[in-house]
Structure 1
């Protein structure tokens, strides 16, 4: 069942991920593209996925092509063992001929006994000497994969890890920026609402803030929402 992935197909996949990076799509989008491409490239595969893990092995992002992948992965995260977590920890490709009899992960092997999963290959995603997570493919029959399947997965992993690390990095400042903008907007609304109370009731700044917080609490409304209602000129509940 071995099949060498044509270089033009691999290049096409990487180009699609680069396109996501250039359009500032989220990490999850790039992960989904990669998972689908892996499933299509590896014969006999019933499902593929990409797990991004933090330094403690906690999942930060997960892309899967089929429900069975989601189920098998969730059991790995829950039990703390499995081929994907081992590939990440050892930073080496893991090949499983039969998940039902492999002695390396007894809890996980028993847990997936009811799923159509027998063969597994998982390869680490390594960028700048840091392991970000792992790629994985699942097959429904034993011994569906070989060492050449592992090499095929590694062909995806090397460039994909670099690109995914860049996408992750680009997401961080954007999220920080969004949070900061939201925080500044909230502060501005609250200041303006305090100004309304100061003018309306002749209060000082601190008194107005305390009055605003008290009214919002009595109304059972978040401070930002209460401030928005007050500034908008609609009588706020609790006034």
Structure 2
């Protein structure tokens, strides 16, 4: 079972990363350093990574500690589903104790069946009111992560999001400001569309979100556009 690090040790890790991030010139280098610290902070982790996503949920920048993270992440983006994308869209942490017993994200779960991924925990990166991506950890054994892992990752993700948003804004203020505004608007539209489907079909928020993501992938269009159509009265697939 995962064990939460003492707060003083966690603070030391965060302080070290703060200093590194503030002296780095490139976002991808800072992200890679951050991911390595996250991996070292949670026992049993074989890989960690940070994904920064645009308003469509596409990866715009990422850092990872091991190739397994790159492979598992790339599959999420290809399938249009997975714990990282769900953490971003819902702004809530996602805990997977044993992927072989997981009923969510069936396409992604099947796609990574050959990879040593059994446990996953992912937390959204929220800076102010803006969700800029997600921090995730992978483990090769089941039940590596539990609720204490979620708490630890959230504590780590909060300052990480602030630092990453600061670096992004300082490198391209105009572009990032527009992107973050678009992301905020997109999340509001998606959440309201999920609410419509929940009431119309009697399903959970997560099931509604998966339905929207699948239609966006099938039609090769933005999740926001699909959500706007639902709000305008055009049914989603199966609705």
TM-score of the two chains, using structure 2 as the length reference:
0.69
1:86 is aligned to 2:86: yes
Q: Give, in angstroms, the shift of residue 76 of structure 1.
A: 0.2
Corresponding position of 2:47: 47
Corresponding position of 2:106: 106
Question: Which whole-Å CA distance do the structure 2 matches of 1:173 and 1:153 have between them?
Answer: 28
Corresponding position of 1:74: 74
Corresponding position of 1:227: none
Question: Which whole-Å CA distance do the structure 2 matches of 1:128 and 1:164 have between them?
Answer: 12
What pairs up with 1:1-239 in 2 under 5 angstroms?
A: 1-172=1-172
Q: Report the more deviating stretch, 13-22 or 93-102.
A: 13-22
Question: Which whole-Å CA distance do the structure 1 matches of 2:68 and 2:116 have between them?
Answer: 8
Q: Secondary structure at the match of 1:13?
A: helix
Q: Secondary structure at the match of 1:135?
A: strand
Question: Which whole-Å CA distance do the structure 2 matches of 1:61 and 1:12 have between them?
Answer: 26
Which stretches of structure 1, 4 residues or more, deviate above 2 A after TM superposition? 1-24
Q: 1:94 to 1:174 in 2, by over 3 A?
A: closer
Corresponding position of 2:199: none
Q: Secondary structure at the match of 1:153?
A: helix
Q: Give, in angstroms, the shift of residue 143 of structure 1.
A: 1.6
Question: Which whole-Å CA distance do the structure 2 matches of 1:132 and 1:165 have between them?
Answer: 7
Q: Secondary structure at the match of 1:43?
A: coil
Structure with the bigger RCO (C-alpha within 8 Å, sep 6+) is: 2
The Cα offsets for residues 138-188 of structure 1, whole Å up to 9 and x where unpaired, read as: 11111211011000100101111011100100111599xxxxxxxxxxxxx
The Cα offsets for residues 67-94 of structure 1, whole Å up to 9 and x where unpaired, read as: 1110000000111000000000000000
Q: 1:143 to 1:171 in 2, by over 3 A?
A: same
Contact 1:39 1:46 in 2 (8 A): yes
Corresponding position of 1:228: none
The Cα offsets for residues 164-216 of structure 1, whole Å up to 9 and x where unpaired, read as: 100100111599xxxxxxxxxxxxxxxxxxxxxxxxxxxxxxxxxxxxxxxxx
Q: 1:37 to 1:17 in 2, by over 3 A?
A: closer
Question: Which whole-Å CA distance do the structure 1 matches of 2:91 and 2:110 have between them?
Answer: 25
Gapped regions of structure 2 (runs ≥ 5): 176-239
Q: Determine which structure has more spread, i.e. the larger CA radius of gyration.
A: 1
Q: Give, in angstroms, the shift of residue 101 of structure 1.
A: 2.9
TM-score of the two chains, using structure 1 as the length reference:
0.69
Q: Secondary structure at the match of 1:145?
A: coil
Gapped regions of structure 1 (runs ≥ 5): 176-239
Aligned residues: 176
